[in-house]
Structure 1
């Protein structure tokens, strides 16, 4: 049975434990074993840096055990996906794992900027800090869009369904 590491900012939600259980149940339903970051046992009665190191090591170990990573790449605290999730995707890709991303909608990254948040100068869009806005018709940064095995527009369960095809 293939193992799926479930990456994404869902671990920061108040009901993260229940979300993880639900995602793991969905994995079972589709013939996979789900590995959720909060399944790790970490001693929270130590200093913060040690806790952080333990979480990091435990999650790396789960990615190492996995065959596939499915990552929630929806925007988190801004216009971009969670940076920890992006790291996990890159690490898994470097290990030769299959990496799948999912997002709720497929609007381009450029379209996530409102008209008052961008300006067109000589055919190139810039944000209000005069930084170029990527315009490759992807919903996410090209380095992620070009490296995932497949981008699914939908939910975690839609990603599992896509793996069945």
Structure 2
């Protein structure tokens, strides 16, 4: 049975344990073993840097065991995906794992900016800080978009459905 590492900021939600159980159950329903980061056992009585390192090491080990990574790439605390999730996708991609993402909206990244947030400079769109706004017809930064096999508009389950049709 192939193993799926479940990446995303869902671990920060108030009901993160229940979310993880649901995602793992969906994996099982579609014939996969789900690996959810909060299933790792970490000693939280240690100093904070040691806890952080233990979480990091445990998640890395899970990614290394996985055959596939499915990542929630929705905006988190801003216009971009969760930075930890982005790192996990890059690491998995470097290991040669199959990496899939899902987003509620897969329109071009530049379209996530309101008209009032974009300005023209020398024929390019820039933000209020005069930084170019990426426009490569991807819903997310090109480094993530080009490192994942596919980004699905929809949900975690939609990715699983697509995998079972391959």
TM-score normalised per structure 2:
0.98
Give the match for residue 150 of structure 2: 150
How far did residue 154 of structure 1 move?
A: 0.1
Q: Which residue of 2 aligns with 1:61?
A: 61
Aligned to 1:91: 91
Deviation at 1:147, TM superposition (A): 1.4
Q: Secondary structure at the match of 2:41?
A: coil
Q: Deviations 1:36-74 (Å, cap 9, x if unpaired)?
A: 000000011111001000000000000000000000000
Deviation at 1:120, TM superposition (A): 1.6
Please give the secondary structure, in 1, of the residue aligned with 2:160: helix
Deviation at 1:5, TM superposition (A): 0.2
Q: What per-residue deviation string (whole Å, max 9, x for no partner) do you get for residues 95-122 of structure 1?
A: 0000000000122110110111111222
Alpha carbon RMSD of aligned pairs, Å? 0.6
Separation of aligned partners in 2, 1:18 and 1:3: 20
Q: Secondary structure at the match of 2:133?
A: coil
Whole-Å Cα distance in 2 between the matches of residues 149 and 137 of structure 1?
Answer: 16
Q: If the length of structure 1 is used for normalisation, what is the TM-score?
A: 0.99
Residue 102 of structure 1 aligns to a residue whose secondary structure is: strand
Partner of 1:28: 28
1-structure distance, mates of 2:150, 2:139: 13
Alignment match, 1:119: 119
2:107 corresponds to: 107
Please give the alpha-carbon distance, in whole angstroms, between the structure 1 residues aligned to 2:84 and 2:101. Answer: 14
How far apart, CA to CA, are the structure 2 residues paired with 1:115 and 1:136?
A: 18
Structure 2, unmatched stretches of 5+, are none
Paired residues in the alignment total 165
CA deviation after TM superposition for structure 1 residue 135, in Å? 0.6
Q: Secondary structure at the match of 1:5?
A: strand
- Divergent runs of 4+, >3 A: none
**C-alpha distance in 2, partners of 1:147/1:79?**
19
